[in-house]
Amino acid sequence: MINAKERIDYLKGAMDKTNPPDRCYDDVPDGASGNRKLAFGCFYCEHKRTCWSDANEGKGLRVFNYANGNRYLTKVKKAPNVEEVTTW
């Protein structure tokens, strides 16, 4: 088991820095499409653009506007049938 308080303190400190930390989480599967998305722990991090700039073959994160909110995809094998957010 990890020490949750220490992990939270570390992540809060990492998010406040101007330089991005090492990736804390790997991306996770997004259903059966073959697409991959940010893990929940990366979703709210302000460094996600910089940290995942090599995603999607060097093009960076792609954001899609699902009914329940934006989804940040790190690998798009099959484009979702929802609007892609181009400015974020």
The residues spanned by each domain of the chain are 4-85
Cα 52 from chain centroid (whole Å)? 7
Strand partners, 75: 36
List, for residues 9-19, the tens digit of each pLDDT value: 888 887 777 77
Q: How far apart are CA 5 and CA 3, in angstroms?
A: 6
Q: Cβ(35)–Cβ(16) under 8 Å?
A: no
What pLDDT does residue 68 have? 95
List, for residues 24-80, the tens digit of each pLDDT value: 899 999 999 999 999 998 988 888 998 999 999 999 999 999 999 999 999 999 999
